[in-house]
Amino acid sequence: MAKKTAHVSETPATQWLRRHGVAYSEHVYDYVEHGGTSESARQLGVSEHAVVKTLVMQNEKGDRLVVLMHGDKQVSTKKLARAIRTKSVEPCSTDAAERASGYQVGGTSPFATRKAMPVYVESTILELDTICINGGRRGYLVGIAPGVLTELLGAKPVACAL
């Protein structure tokens, strides 16, 4: 895990983490448009597998959901749809994702989203010791224990990685 950096101003995500008594480390990097998790992992000196991306998707009815996936993996929408017993799942538009989450794409955190959405986590993420996940703004990750995702956030484990 990269060394802890200086404190970043509060975000809804960090306020949520504090309110729930979650210990976390802060990791700031220079956001690069379309750099994704490979860029943040490179800058922070962490495994991209331990950097978790937060994806806002929708089912065939347009209901939004959050999917948490390893940075170095893709979501199989077919596996995900089967796992959550829906016809289909697809990424939603940038505008729809930002409206539902309250965060700018590239800075989406699963914590304190504007609208309540079901959260699904790739089950192998829960096997890691520590993960880095978006802290609510571009260029800002927080390091947490992955158990927070299921225990406090209520994320449901699924096997949907490609």
Q: 7 near 99, Cβ under 8 Å? A: no
Top pLDDT among 152 and 9 is at: 152
Percent of the chain at pLDDT > 70 equals: 95
Determine the average pLDDT of the residues in 111-117. Answer: 96
* Residue 9 confidence (pLDDT): 75
What is residue 6's predicted lDDT score, i.e. its pLDDT? 52
Task: Tell me the pLDDT band of 42, cut-offs 50, 70 and 90.
Answer: very high
Neighbour tally for 146: CB within 10 Å: 21
pLDDT of amino acid 8: 66
| Residue 50 in this model has a pLDDT that exceeds 70 | yes
Give CA–CA dist 74/157, Å, rounded: 16
CB 136 within 8 A of CB 112: yes
Q: What is the pLDDT of residues 57-105, one digit of tens each?
A: 999 999 999 999 999 999 999 999 999 999 999 999 999 999 999 999 9
Global model pTM greater than 0.85: yes
Strand segments, DSSP code E, in the chain are: 25-28, 51-59, 64-70, 89-91, 119-122, 131-137, 140-144, 156-158
